């Protein structure tokens, strides 16, 4: 199906040795150590060098350069509107390009944001409230952001969940979620460009920081969609103890970006839809691209447990 075709587009990986050469030749960062980071559809490396730490990202060959520019532009726009939001900065190559070309693939070097991932941090109510507040600030900062690629079709946009119905053969247990999903009501909610992927591995935190959150990573799924869907994505990863466990995130978000009554009412539906989306796409990807099955299936049991907790 067209919506999911890009998720399994094969490509030749950049090796760690080749990444080190690129950093020296294209960015003037010699003798760097590039260590691959696990990602779904691009080549991403943690870079350690005498000049400091960075992230090297080489996009999938099938990725539209305009979509990569959407990600870069969204980070820059948010930082300009609210300079306190901890997003990465993109560094220019020796030729002055912030989006350099590598044989048809877009290459970027970004700043490294220190701290620990939210996945491994203590998720106290105060910390969750602080996380929600930063997420709300990011949504508020992007409210007026416009870009020609923002309306793209994206399989990870929960508003498009009904289009994933053909994948139910791989996860028939989530069919009731799709049956309950009211696409008409979701379409009537406020829409804007959002990050759309604030999972536990895309948020860097520090207990000693006044905002708790010290880094927001990976704008790869940025898209124009229902605003509340962005909050639903992060809530779907934090449902350790049912809905009550995520109330501090909602409270913090609302301190920076007030949701409408309709958005609050439909949040549980959006969270449920996101969990079903994760299960559907993971089961389908494991079947379609078995070489990467272990990676894409790593959170399936948790997703199903969270869906049960939400119900």
- Name the residue range of residue 225's domain: 116-310
- The angle formed by the CA atoms of residues 54, 76 and 199, to the nearest 5 degrees, is 65
- Of 90, 111, 132, the residue that ends a domain is 111
The number of domains in the chain is 2
Clarify whether residues 121 and 248 are in a common domain.
yes
Q: Tell me which residue of 181, 121, 124, 173 sits closest to 303, measured CA to CA.
A: 173
Clarify whether residues 65 and 156 are in a common domain.
no
Q: How far is CA 58 from the centre of its chain?
A: 16
On the CB side of 62, CA atoms within 13 Å amount to: 11
Are the beta carbons of 256 and 137 closer than 8 angstroms?
Answer: yes
Clarify whether residues 137 and 234 are in a common domain.
yes
Q: What is the 3-state secondary structure (H, E, C) of 246-309?
A: HHHHHHHHHHHCCCCHHHHHHHHHHHHHHHHHHHHHHHHHHHHCHHHHHHHCCCHHHHHHHHHH
Question: pLDDT tens digits, the chain, 311 residues: what are they?
Answer: 566 666 656 678 999 999 999 999 999 999 999 999 988 789 999 999 999 999 999 999 999 999 999 999 999 999 999 999 999 999 999 999 999 999 999 999 999 998 999 999 999 999 999 999 999 999 999 999 999 999 999 999 999 999 999 999 999 999 999 999 999 999 999 999 999 999 999 999 998 888 999 999 999 999 999 999 999 999 999 988 788 899 999 999 999 999 999 999 999 999 999 999 999 999 999 998 777 777 778 889 889 988 988 87
Q: What is the CATH number of the domain that holds 59?
A: 3.30.200.20
Clarify whether residues 238 and 271 are in a common domain.
yes
Clarify whether residues 264 and 233 are in a common domain.
yes
Q: What is the CATH number of the domain that holds 149?
A: 3.90.1200.10
pTM assigned to the model = 0.92
Taking the chain, what is the end-to-end CA distance rounded to the nearest angstrom?
A: 30
Clarify whether residues 251 and 120 are in a common domain.
yes
Q: Tell me which residue of 132, 152, 160 sits closest to 257, measured CA to CA.
A: 132
Clarify whether residues 99 and 120 are in a common domain.
no
- Of 111, 132, 155, the residue that ends a domain is 111
- Of 65, 95, 111, the residue that ends a domain is 111
């Amino acid at each position: 199906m067209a919506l999911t075709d890009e998720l399994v587009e094969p490509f030749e990986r950049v090796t760690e040795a080749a990444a080190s050469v690129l950093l020296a030749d294209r960015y003037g960062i010699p003798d760097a150590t590039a260590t691959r980071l696990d990602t779904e559809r691009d080549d991403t490396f943690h870079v350690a060098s005498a000049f400091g730490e960075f992230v090297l990202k080489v996009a999938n060959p099938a990725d539209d350069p305009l979509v990569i520019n959407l990600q870069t532009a969204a980070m820059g726009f948010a930082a300009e509107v609210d300079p306190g939001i901890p997003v990465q900065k993109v560094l220019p190559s020796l030729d002055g390009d912030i989006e350099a070309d590598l044989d048809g693939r877009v290459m970027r070097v970004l700043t490294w944001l220190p701290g620990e991932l939210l996945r491994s941090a203590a998720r106290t109510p105060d910390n969750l409230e602080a996380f929600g507040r930063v997420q709300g600030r990011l949504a508020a900062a992007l409210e007026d952001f416009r870009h020609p690629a923002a309306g793209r079709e994206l399989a990870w946009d929960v508003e498009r969940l009904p289009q994933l119905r053909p994948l139910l053969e791989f996860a028939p247990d989530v069919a009731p979620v799709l049956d309950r999903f009211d696409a008409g009501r979701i379409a009537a909610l406020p829409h804007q460009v959002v990050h759309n992927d604030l999972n536990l591995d895309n948020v860097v935190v520090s207990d000693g920081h006044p905002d708790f959150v010290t880094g927001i990573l990976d704008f790869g799924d940025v898209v124009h969609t229902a605003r509340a869907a962005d909050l639903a994505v992060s809530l779907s990863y934090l449902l350790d103890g049912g809905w009550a466990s995520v109330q501090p995130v909602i409270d913090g978000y609302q301190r920076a970006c007030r949701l409408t009554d309709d958005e609050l009412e439909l949040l549980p539906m959006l969270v449920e839809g996101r969990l079903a989306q994760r299960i559907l796409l993971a089961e389908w990807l494991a079947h379609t691209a078995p070489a990467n099955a272990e990676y894409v299936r790593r959170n399936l049991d948790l997703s199903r447990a969270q869906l049960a907790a939400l119900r």
